[in-house]
A = this chain, B = another copy of it.
């Protein structure tokens, strides 16, 4: 599936794209990507609500008047760092967002998950370190931080404090699968800690 509208509807149905939040993209070629447009509910968007953007500058290619997602610079930073990255999912799932906010509060720039089987879904076997980025109202600063900090051997997921989570992979399905695993990891973290 490279259909951004169908995948957006799926993620919206899980409650991970509330209001008009959340955005997804697929790489079209070495220089461009297709990203969801700004300001639309992901539960009812159509294939018209997408914008072609340049990977180098996060700006629209051509001029059909639609604005790309305000968070496009996070997507393009990932396409720049990871040559094999074919798709990006940025969402606000509740447990990952809470874990990100808690990490930011204690000043952590990484969240460590050890021993849970589901970390295999993030390409790890025993332990995975998910980077936590500072949230900025001005999103391009987040994108710049991502491009500056991540190296090609990073795990395919990141958290943004008090904001949400981003995952990526060769395909849109793999990026979604990783978001599912990250959200479950964070849900388990909160469930387990609260009962310890």
Residues of A at the B interface (CB closer than 8 Å) are 14-15, 18-21, 41, 44, 92, 94-95, 97-98, 101-102, 105, 115-118, 120-121, 125-126, 135, 137, 160, 162-164, 173, 176-178, 180-181, 183-184, 187-188, 190-196
Given contacts A126-B137, A187-B94, whether A118 and B18 have CB atoms under 8 Å apart is: yes
Give A187 Cβ to nearest chain B Cβ, in Å.
5
8 A-B pairs with the lowest CB-CB distances in the bound complex, closest first: A19-B121, A18-B180, A117-B163, A98-B191, A19-B181, A19-B177, A18-B184, A115-B162
Query: Inside 8 A of A160's CB, which chain B residues have their CB?
Result: 117
Do residues A188 and B94 form an inter-chain contact, with CB atoms below 8 A?
yes
**Residues of chain B within 8 A of A193, CB atoms compared:** 195
**Is B162 a contact of A116 with CB atoms below 8 Å?**
yes
A94 to B135, CA, bound (A): 27
Inter-subunit contact A20/B190 (CB<8 Å): no
Q: Which of these, B101, B126, B177, B195, contacts A116 with CB under 8 Å? A: B101
Contacts of A176 in B (CB 8 A): 41
Q: Is the CB of B20 within 8 A of A177?
A: yes
A-B contact pairs, 8 of them (CB 8 A): A18-B180, A18-B183, A41-B176, A95-B191, A98-B191, A105-B192, A115-B135, A194-B195
A90 to chain B, nearest CB (A): 11
